[in-house]
Structures are given as structure tokens and as C-alpha cells.
Amino acid sequence: MISKFTALSAFVGFMFFSAPVAAQDHGHEDAHYEDAHQNDAHSNGANTVESHSSEDHHDTHDTHSEGHGHADFVPASDTEGRKAVVKETVKHHLADSYDFHIVGPVGFPLPVILIDNGLKIFSSAKFHHGESVATVDGEHYKIHHSKIYKTDAEGTMLLDEAGNHIKPLDFSITKNVFMIMFMAVFMFFLFRGVANTYKKSLVPSKAGRFLEPLIVLIRDEIAIPNIGEKHYKRYMSFLLTIFFFIWFLNLAGMTPLGVNVTGNIAVTVSLALMTFFITQFSGKKDYWMHIFWMPGVPVLLRPVLAVIELIGLVVKPFSLTIRLYANMLAGHVVIMSILGLIYIFASYTAAVPFTGLTLFLYVLELLVAALQAYIFTMLASLYFGAAVEEHDHH
């Protein structure tokens, strides 16, 4: 148990230091790649400035579209080229990927699972970070813009009859899926450990000292006031799970690992759909009556109101989805863009204020991480509350 709590505090501490580390990251890459690409720089040196910058622009774009994530050296005078590097780096950090890239050459491949003339399971190491064509059981695959496509042996993408590129059905354990599974297992052991400490004594100990106030907060401030004393217990497990799941993944997104699970619309859609279905299936008579046959209004208006209420019903999961997704994605983009400004301006006068601004936004994002989890849980409980509410007829 001690180890779990230490792990959690280390995790939180790690996040506080990750902004300056991320800021340094590109500086190191520059120094590292300067030597490797001296030849490029020399051959370009003969050209005029205009052609030079446009060529650099293309170079960086090409290397990055292969999903490799390393910047070629771009001189500080070439602002346009550096802007393109920042853009590509931001894109790379937000995208899901088939291998878990940590820093520099360190990282590990993840399993790729495709259904394409039978089940095909292989390691993403076969793609060599998206640079080469993977051959599995006589079929060839290539990663293009973070998606797997079917190719021939030379890597030319195959077309179907309609002229579209062929994508196999993809069930791969990508970086996001890996993080979701990791967080699920982490939360299971963390909360089971906390629950076990209550068998010995009701005084919270270890991680419980940190988590108990949060659990009580969800119960007393969110579940009971919105759902009501009578029904709240049925929803507590879902509300607690969704709160800690979103919060922990938001925090994981604040590390320099480029984990962007809650900023992925597919994930937030799933969370919103779960909330939606739980709401509909726990809807009582009063809930459905207020949608289809609103009491207390003229009979002629009731069908009109039914249509409007139904639209409202469908829009709710959309607003849940978009709020979480847009907030997390926007936070990541803003932080990385401002970090990128340090690289673009390439001077100490710009670096100092922008590092400060990044740190400030970073702390703000830590707040947003908790706030978005809180709001999602709050709205879910509001919807559940509306579903089980019994009106005293007005």
C-alpha cells in the first residue's frame, strides 16, 4: 500500500516538473540532430534564402508525416520552418499511435490486431516507427498519418473498387487503449487497497487519507443533492469510477508522454453514451411522461413539446462529449503552442516569459483536469436525478 501511495505522489510530483522538462526536450533534439544534419545544412547553404526555407518546410513536413516525431535541425532564422516543426510536433503529441514513445529512442511497441482475411496479431515494431512496410502472412501494411493501410510489397497503398484506400478492421492496442487499460488496472488495485484498509479500522490510512475526502465529496456534494437520498446508492459506483477515471487520465495527459486519452473524441463519446444509456434505462414513469406527454400544458402543445424534449434528450450526450474533448484538447494545444514559441523565437528574452506563461497555464490545466472530471460527474448525476425524480404534481 505504501508503494501505491508513493507511486501516486511521485506521479503528481512528476507532473509538476514535466513542463520545464518538455521545454528542454526540443533543445536537446536540436543539439543532437545538428551534427547529423550538417550535410543537409551545407547543401542548402548554397541556395537563396527563399528556396532554403521552403525546402526546409517540406523536409520537416515529410519526415513528420511518417509519424517519426523527431525534428530535423531548422536554423533559428528560418521562422516558417520552425513554425512547421512546432505544428507537426503538436500534432504528433495529440495523435494516437501504435507504439509508446517515451523520449528520444526510448519506447516500446504495442500489439497490432487486425481483422483482414482472418485475425492478424503482430508487434508494431514491424513498422519500424511507421518507416517500413510490415508483412504478415503474405499481406502488407503501412502506417500513413497514424492509421494502418493495406499496401503491396513496395508500400504502395491499395485501392478498392470505389477508389478509396483500403483500411483493415483495426482492433489494435494503441497508446490510448494501453493507457485506458493501465488506468483501469491501476484504479482497481488502488481502490481495492483503500477498501481493504477499512477492514482494520475506519480511520483512513495511506492512500485513503487522500482519496476518502474526494469520495465523500462525490457522495455528499454531487450524488445526494442531485439524485436524492433514496436512489443515490445505485449510481455511486458509476459516478466514482467515471470521476476518477477522467481525472487520472486528464492528469496522465499533463505528463510529457503525450497521452491524450480524454482529448480523444472517441473516448469521450463512449463515456457520454454510457451515461446516456444508464439515464434512459433508469428512467421512471415520471421521466418519460415529462418527455412524451408533459403534464400541466394544453393537450395541443404536448406533441410539440415531446419533439422538443426528445431533441434535448439526444443533444445531452453530445454536449457531454464535446465539453470534455474540447477542453482537454484545447488545453494541450495551447500549452504546446506556447512552449513552441520558445523554440520559434530562439532567444532568452522570449524564453523566460514564455516558460513562466507555460508554467502558469500548466497549473491552470491541472485545475481544469480536476474541474472537467467534476463537471462530467456532476452532469451525469443531474441526468440520473432527472430520470429517477418523482414529481409532486404541480
Binding site for another protein (CB under 8 A): 221, 225-226, 308, 311-312, 315-316, 318-319, 322-323, 375, 378-379, 382, 394
SS3 228: coil
- Measured distance CA(207)–CA(190) in Å, rounded: 8
Could you tell me the three cell numbers for 114? 487486425
Minimum CB–partner distance for residue 380 and another protein (Å): 11
If the CB atoms of residues 124 and 268 are measured against another protein, the closer one turns out to be 268
Q: 276 φ, ψ to 5°?
A: -60, -50
Q: Are 372 and 250 in contact (CB under 8 A)?
A: yes
If the CB atoms of residues 207 and 324 are measured against another protein, the closer one turns out to be 324
Minimum CB–partner distance for residue 321 and another protein (Å): 9
- Measured distance CA(44)–CA(46) in Å, rounded: 5
- For the chain, the distance separating the N- and C-terminal CA atoms, rounded to the nearest angstrom, is 53
Give the H/E segment covering residue 382: helix 348-388
If the CB atoms of residues 69 and 385 are measured against another protein, the closer one turns out to be 385
Minimum CB–partner distance for residue 329 and another protein (Å): 14
If the CB atoms of residues 55 and 221 are measured against another protein, the closer one turns out to be 221
If the CB atoms of residues 119 and 301 are measured against another protein, the closer one turns out to be 301
Q: Are 112 and 121 in contact (CB under 8 A)?
A: yes
- Contacts of the segment 340-345: beta carbons below 8 A, 24+ positions apart: 340/83, 340/86, 340/89, 340/90, 342/23, 343/26, 343/27, 343/82, 343/85, 343/86, 344/79, 344/82, 344/83, 344/86
Question: Rg (Cα) of the chain, in Å, rounded?
Answer: 26
If the CB atoms of residues 92 and 316 are measured against another protein, the closer one turns out to be 316
Burial of 133 (0-12, 13-18, 19+ CB in 10 A): middle
If the CB atoms of residues 136 and 378 are measured against another protein, the closer one turns out to be 378
Could you tell me the three cell numbers for 393? 404534481
Minimal CA–CA distance to 354: which of 366, 363, 345?
345
If the CB atoms of residues 221 and 389 are measured against another protein, the closer one turns out to be 221
Minimum CB–partner distance for residue 120 and another protein (Å): 38
Minimum CB–partner distance for residue 248 and another protein (Å): 21
- Measured distance CA(318)–CA(320) in Å, rounded: 5
Minimum CB–partner distance for residue 391 and another protein (Å): 11
How many Cβ atoms are within 10 Å of 13's Cβ, its own excluded? Answer: 10
Minimum CB–partner distance for residue 308 and another protein (Å): 5
Minimum CB–partner distance for residue 209 and another protein (Å): 24
